[in-house]
Structures are given as C-alpha cells and as structure tokens.
Structure 1
Amino acid sequence: MIRPRHILRVFLLTTLLTTCLTGLSACGFVGFPGVYKIDIEQGNLVTQEMIEQLQPGMSRRQVRFIMGSPLVEDTFQPDRWDYPYVIRNGPDIIREAQVRIFFEGDSLVDVTGDYLPSWANPNAEPQGSTESEETEEAKES
C-alpha cells in the first residue's frame, strides 16, 4: 500500500524539478551577463584577391584550385557554384558574403555576388579610361 506521505514527496519533487527546468530554459532566452560568446565562421572565406584571379574561360578545375570547393553544388543547376560565408557572434551576424560562379560547360562565364572581378563589375570603369579622358579634355582646351 502506498502511503500518502510518499505521494506527497513525489509530487513535491516533480513540481520542484519542473520549476528548475523551466527556470534553466528561460536563462537560455535571457542569457547570462558577462558570458563570452565565440565567433562562429561558416561557409567559404572569399577575398577580393581570390576573385581577381578568376578569368573568363577558366575550367572548373582551375576555379576550384583558386576558390576551393564550393559549399553548394546544386544538382538542379550544375552550371552554378555558390560560395556563402557568414561570421556570427551568438545571434548577431558580424559579416556575411555571397559569391555565385556560373559556367557554360566547363568554362567560367560569370561571377555575381558581394565580390566581383573587374571584368564582371558593370559599375567599374575600364582601366586606363581616366587617362584617355584627361588627354581628350586637355586637347579640347
């Protein structure tokens, strides 16, 4: 026969345990002040220097040598490689970048995203154009 005293103890221990677990889960939401959170890097680190080495017509093997293996090789888009990159400190995003490389067959044709080579950047002025504009202005005056 179960004594009422044991039932009361089990009930009190269960209530205490659920209260403690609920309190601990709330601490994860609020966070502890002064707790160090490490930076977490995910994806492929891509630099402008790496992107500038890319040239139209390069093979997939040459691109893989410069950029490394892509994080995403989509089976439904085999001519596109994605290089995402993100650094987080807890829930805060410190830096985020995305580069997409497109191929036709085995040849590099286009690069889009946050880092662009000079040949793929539509807003960049062609090299040497400032010198030719300055000489034309000097001739006119």
Structure 2
Amino acid sequence: MAVDEAAAAAKGKSLGAADPRLQGISDAIRVVPTSPSQDAVDMFVERYRGMGIAAVAGIEARGFIFGPAIALAIGAKFIPLRKPKKLPGEVFSESYVLEYGMDCLEMHVGAIEPGERVVVVDDLVATGGTLSAAIRLLG
C-alpha cells in the first residue's frame, strides 16, 4: 500500500483520503521527471558488463546514487569514497586541491585488492582533482 501511495504522490495524485500527512510530504517533494534519466544506469551496465570489473567506487555524495545500482547489475562490489570521518573503522585518506580550497576522500582499508579493476562514479568533473584523488586512493 505504501508503495502505491508513493507512486501516486509522484504522479501528483491526491492522497488526502489515505493519510493527510502523506499529502503534506508529497507536496514538499520536488519531482523532476527527467532526472535522472531512466537509461543512465543501463548505459553504464552495457558498457562495463563482462569487462571483469571487480568494484564500483562511488564518490560522495552523488556517486552513491548510481554506483550501487551499477555495481549490483554487473556483479561487482560497491566501495564508498567518503568525506573525512564519515566511515567507521580504519581508512586510507587522500587529500586533493579543489578550485576553492582543499578536501579529502577516505576509503575503508581492505576495500580493494591489488589488481582489481574499478569503475569510479561521480556526478561531474570540473578540475579533475576529486577523480585524481580517487584514483590515487584506489591505486
């Protein structure tokens, strides 16, 4: 029932009779029907399936949207690359320069084995600093 109600909310149908709280939540959510493209994950899967990819590394935060779905579809593990002090346990860190300062990515120790092939997923590349840090971290 909750899934049907959520689908109705996404399509703009009234939920008031079911539960007025649901209508309030629905009214507060901005629906962008063309984002992300339904084909986005499929395009990555078609490209990387069968290439021996062992892991998909998603850069926080938008790499967490597509990364797990791609990893699951190609039979790979997902590795979150996070901002400092977000991951529990022992981590590796890699600092990098942004156009407006410095930042850092962290990854769990043991998340990847030497020689494993990895796809890195992020939302955009501006300076390449984050991607370079991810590659160094995974290397």
Q: What's the TM-score, normalizing by structure 1?
A: 0.19
* Bigger radius of gyration: 1
Q: What's the TM-score, normalizing by structure 2?
A: 0.19
